[in-house]
Structure 1
Amino acid sequence: MFISTHNMKPSALFSTLSLCLFLFLFLSLPPPSLAARCNPNDKEALLQIKKSLNNPTHLAAWKPNTNCCNWNGIICNPATNRVATLQLDSGNLSGQIPPAVGNLPFLENLFVLNLSNLTGHIPSTVAKLSHLTFLAISHTSISGRIPSFLSQLKNLTYINLSYNQLTGSIPASLSQLTQLTAIDLGGNKLTGKIPSSFGEFTGAVPDLYLSQNKLSGTIPKSMGYLNYSAIYLANNMLEGEVTPLFGKNKTLRFVHLGSNKFRFDMSKVELPVTLFLLDLSHNGITGSLPASFASPNLMNLNVSYNRLCGQIPAGGNLQVFEPSAYLPNRCLCGAPLPACK
């Protein structure tokens, strides 16, 4: 019953969300005879984007004498005739993200996905997209810092910049985005600390995906004041305590903190009953497993490669998980491990 979460890639969640959103919007389009006519200014911007990408064959159908609302990767809002979605996610596209994307003033969804030959930085013209709600630039070779101007895009609900070559620190100003429901910055080369402002979101508390970076320092105590649902921080260089994240009154569901340098006493942790997944593997955690681990809702657990001791509590799914969920540790015992002496 144990499902290892050590190699989970949370960006897959955003890829699925991106695809689902795209399909929903696509299937919601009116028949071709009723399709919106492309705004001339939007068409000019799209043709400039095509030119900047060296006129790839994948965009051969983007022709000046055709309706750009019918072009592949484009969805227009039929009420306004303006381009609402731009999706570049296939073909052998190379070069940089064209600055002309900023000339689509009514763009709501920008998807740039799975383009390993795409390099350069996130263009500053993205700051002009005041209607943008969904930004997904993932699995490319773009580099540079995460631009602080993203905090100007007050309508953003999703940010997915996962699996690129981004460096530098995480902008503290992202906490100013009150509509955010998820931030995925995993799989980059980010350094520095998690901003303390991530305990100061004034709107929705976003799901947080920061795994597979080079983040260091401790988890801000301020994050313990908020009620996160998902926190993925695996494969970094984080240290110290994590106990403020937990508590019986929290609504945490997914926590992956594996492969860090956390040191704390597990016996002081009280898990919320809502918790579904918990991975604390490959740290330096001491103490024993408290009784709250026996929650029937906990379906995925991995506390392997720590310094835990004592008897595994009875109840919930703790006796059903594979022994590999608990090994090696200093002296854990009891089912599914050998009986305590």
Structure 2
Amino acid sequence: LLCNPKDKKVLLQIKEDLGNPYHLASWDPNTDCCYWYVVKCDRKTNRINALTVFQANISGQIPAAVGDLPYLETLQFHHITNLTGTIQPAIAKLTNLKMLRLSFTNLTGPIPEFLSQLKNLTLLELNYNQLTGTIPPSLSQLPNLLAIHLDRNKLTGTIPESFGKFKGPNIPDLYLSHNSLTGKVPTSLGDLNFSRLDFSRNKLEGDVSFLFGKNKTSQIIDLSRNSLEFDISKSEFAESLISLDLNHNRIFGSLPQGLKDVPLQFFNVSYNRLCGQIPQGGTLQSFDVYSYLHNKCLCGSPLPDCK
């Protein structure tokens, strides 16, 4: 048998704590746990290194016993609508964890501080839940993060200033959309080179022009449906930018000439307070009127000619 007896005991405890769901019917004590459904064993150590529970008819809370699988690198509870309670504190013990994905569930409560101790995390995905409270500034201490998905929760407060101080070799993609985040975006975020930022559908205000720049390597920026208010006229944009969504804000001024040379595949500045001629002879004519409608006095193709 390959299966480690300690791991087997823990898995059977998890199964019992979840009420012996049909989803885990293959977890038979008489068989080798390395071949059970939704788990994986490390080929060298034969220890359980992944538990991925996906689209299961499971009710209840994440069992504390998950914290007793010390070799876990991947922990996923995904698309389980009847999963409730808070993010299990025992997860703090899983120091080898690289991927934590608790998404599309009914988890409630705050994003716990202990996550910042899981220094091997490359992916933190806590989206599509019912999480509340503020974003812990300590998440910026995670040195290996590639992406943070906190979108589609009920988070409040401001974006932490520390999010402009990620220490790792990679600057993580930040997905914070569909929450109730307020206040200004910290200017510290302008010090880093984020390749993907999605802050859409929050209640953010003020100036975010420091997120743009010729020397950035941004690819996707979505700041739509906030209350952002700044003059875009002087902004410069990275040539790497393929998607820029600023719709439904209070952005004023005119679109800078340099935008026409950016190889945008998606662009929307509708429902703002922009004025003046849309820069001609570049990519901005490849978008239809819906990208520009409901501004103060924008004109020129694809909108009607300037008077």
Same fold, judged at TM 0.5 (above):
yes
Give 1:319's aligned amino acid.
Q
Distance in 2, matches of 1:142 and 1:54, equals: 18
- Once the two structures are TM-superposed, the CA of residue 291 in structure 1 deviates from its matched residue by 1.3
Segments of 5+ residues of structure 2 without an aligned counterpart are none
Q: Does 1:76 align with 2:76?
A: no
- Residue number in structure 2 paired with 1:53: 18
Q: Does 1:154 align with 2:114?
A: no
1:299-318 residue pairs with structure 2 within 5 A?
299-318=265-284
Q: What is the DSSP-based 3-state SS (H/G/I as helix, E as strand, rest coil) of the residue aligned with 1:137?
A: strand
Q: Show the counterpart of 1:97.
A: 62
Cα distance in 1 between the residues matched to 2:207 and 2:12: 52
> Pairwise CA RMSD of aligned residues?
0.8
- Which residue number in structure 2 is paired with residue 216 of structure 1? 182
Shift of 1:292: 1.9
State the 4+ residue runs in structure 1 displaced beyond 2 angstroms.
none
Percent identity of equivalent pairs: 56
User: Does 2:266 match 1:283?
Assistant: no
Cα distance between partner residues in 2 of 1:296 and 1:198 = 27
- Structure 1: give runs of 5+ residues left out of the alignment: 1-35
* 3-state SS, counterpart of residue 87 of structure 1: strand
Within-5 A mapping of 1:1-341: 37-203=2-168, 204-341=170-307
Relative CO higher for 1 or 2, CA cutoff 8 Å, sep ≥ 6?
A: 1
Q: Per-residue deviation at 1:123?
A: 1.0
Q: Deviations over 1:149-206 (max 9, x none)?
A: 0000000000000010000000000000010010000000000000000001111210
Contact 2:241/2:262, CA 8 A, preserved across alignment: no
Residues 155-164 or 310-319, more deviating: 310-319
Deviation at 1:296, TM superposition (A): 4.3
Aligned residue pair count: 306
For residue 188 of structure 1, what is the amino acid of its counterpart? N
CA–CA distance in structure 2, aligned partners of residues 146 and 296 of structure 1? 37
Q: Deviations over 1:100-147 (max 9, x none)?
A: 100000000011100000000111110000100001000000000000
Q: Is the 8 A contact 1:58 1:90 kept in 2?
A: no
Aligned counterparts of 1:42 and 1:295: Cα–Cα separation in 2: 57
